[in-house]
Amino acid sequence: MTKQSIILGIESSCDETACAIIEQNGNILGNVISSQASIHAPNGGVVPEVAAREHLTAIRPVIKETLKQAGLSFEKIDGIAATGGPGLIGGVLIGTVTAKAIASACNLPYYAINHLEGHALTARFTHKLKFPYLLLLASGGHTQLLSINALGDYERYGTTLDDAAGEAFDKGAKILGLGYPGGPAIENAAKIGNPDAIKLPIPRQRYNDCHFSFSGLKTALAQAILKHPKPIPVADFAASLQATISASLANRSEIAMEKFVSSKLMPDEPVFVVAGGVAANKEIRRDLEYLATSKNFRMVLPPLEFCTDNAAMIAWVGMEYHLIGKHTGLDFAPKPRWPLDQEASPPPGRGVRK
């Protein structure tokens, strides 16, 4: 048997310091995540300076632990990959400098990875998925619909004009006094709530495109609370907010499915992949699954640990580029903004997320 290539990946673009080691066949040899969620919880969101300091402390022990888990030393590794953006620049810098240092000390190729490409290609190692497929990425930092055509060839159908879907959960939870991270807190509170109790507007419903907008929802929620007799039924508010976010994700995804099906790349069996922390939400999964079935798409949900931020997805993208011999120069500069589809036309409105 020929030797499998092995890549070590580092992720540090938000509030997780993570390292993973992956083989060419998708087998994960080591996977360690150190989360800062409890440190940021009192602030109701990630504080960039605090996050950077935590990455600095965590990165060495996390890498050491990953190598230990895999039972490997750097001599057995064939390349070092690290998130090079987009994300919080302090964390991205720490991951990048660490990866470059290991690569140059061990004489290994270095791969600067786009964090979004990590999410985009996760289903390639979890489900051995072939190109092309349609992706909904819904996390705390991004909400995008993309046609994943081939390695390095991604067509962005839509993105958010302002807040991400996860942000809508986090901000909604803060307004409702439910704590951080807001997604699980809202989902839990919503279990005993009535999703039809509070009328919230489904964002951009009358636009026939794939772009999202969630910032108005936060204002609508705050106003509905102000108008409502006290004490407010928190469970009803949580259930209504969750249902509205889910409806928005589903109706934009439906337009994307129609676009994907009519594209020239349309495969025999169209696949719809959902990734990002918001994909943990059971109601959202159910709604998207229903949609996918009605549109004759096979829905693929990578296991949750690979849906949220992790380093296995970064190591995997490094592997894909390693296998075609396309490494990055050590002069690579981290990119706080790094759109996956460089040619995407800007969505309408200001404050555009890439």
Task: List interacting residues with ligand KG4 (CB under 6 A).
Answer: 14, 139-141, 166, 169-170, 181-184, 187, 276-278, 280-281, 308-309
**What span, in angstroms and rounded, lies between the C-alpha atoms of 262 and 265?**
8
Smallest distance from the beta carbon of 87 to Zn ion, in angstroms?
8
Q: Are 307 and 301 in contact (CB under 8 A)?
A: yes
**What span, in angstroms and rounded, lies between the C-alpha atoms of 271 and 100?**
36
Closest CA to 92 of 8, 20, 9, 11: 11
Q: Among residues 62 and 77, whose Cβ is nearest to ligand KG4?
A: 62
**What span, in angstroms and rounded, lies between the C-alpha atoms of 272 and 302?**
11
**Residues in contact with Zn ion by the rule CB under 5 A:** 139, 309
Smallest distance from the beta carbon of 218 to ligand KG4, in angstroms?
13
Closest CA to 218 of 252, 176, 277, 168: 168
Q: Are 141 and 112 in contact (CB under 8 A)?
A: no
Q: Among residues 89 and 235, whose Cβ is nearest to Zn ion?
A: 89
Smallest distance from the beta carbon of 123 to Zn ion, in angstroms?
14
CA 232 to chain CA centroid, nearest Å: 33
**What span, in angstroms and rounded, lies between the C-alpha atoms of 152 and 111?**
14
Q: Among residues 169 and 338, whose Cβ is nearest to ligand KG4?
A: 169
Smallest distance from the beta carbon of 17 to ligand KG4, in angstroms?
13
Residue 30 binds which entry of Zn ion, ligand KG4, none, with Cβ cut-offs from 5 to 8 Å by kind? none
Residue 237 binds which entry of Zn ion, ligand KG4, none, with Cβ cut-offs from 5 to 8 Å by kind? none
Residue 140 binds which entry of Zn ion, ligand KG4, none, with Cβ cut-offs from 5 to 8 Å by kind? ligand KG4
Smallest distance from the beta carbon of 192 to ligand KG4, in angstroms?
16
Q: Among residues 74 and 184, whose Cβ is nearest to ligand KG4?
A: 184
Residue 353: CB partners within 8 Å, gap ≥ 6?
142, 143, 159, 160, 161, 162, 164
Residue 248 binds which entry of Zn ion, ligand KG4, none, with Cβ cut-offs from 5 to 8 Å by kind? none
Q: Among residues 24 and 253, whose Cβ is nearest to ligand KG4?
A: 253
Q: Among residues 102 and 241, whose Cβ is nearest to ligand KG4?
A: 241
Sheet holding 298-300, edge to edge: 153-159, 143-150, 133-138, 271-275, 298-300
Smallest distance from the beta carbon of 47 to ligand KG4, in angstroms?
15
Residue 170 binds which entry of ligand KG4, Zn ion, none, with Cβ cut-offs from 5 to 8 Å by kind? ligand KG4
Closest CA to 354 of 112, 87, 14: 87
Q: Among residues 44 and 216, whose Cβ is nearest to ligand KG4?
A: 44
Query: Dihedrals φ, ψ of 202, to 5°?
Result: -80, 120
Residue 334 binds which entry of Zn ion, ligand KG4, none, with Cβ cut-offs from 5 to 8 Å by kind? none
Residue 183 binds which entry of Zn ion, ligand KG4, none, with Cβ cut-offs from 5 to 8 Å by kind? ligand KG4
How do 110-114 and 79-85 pair as beta strands?
A: parallel
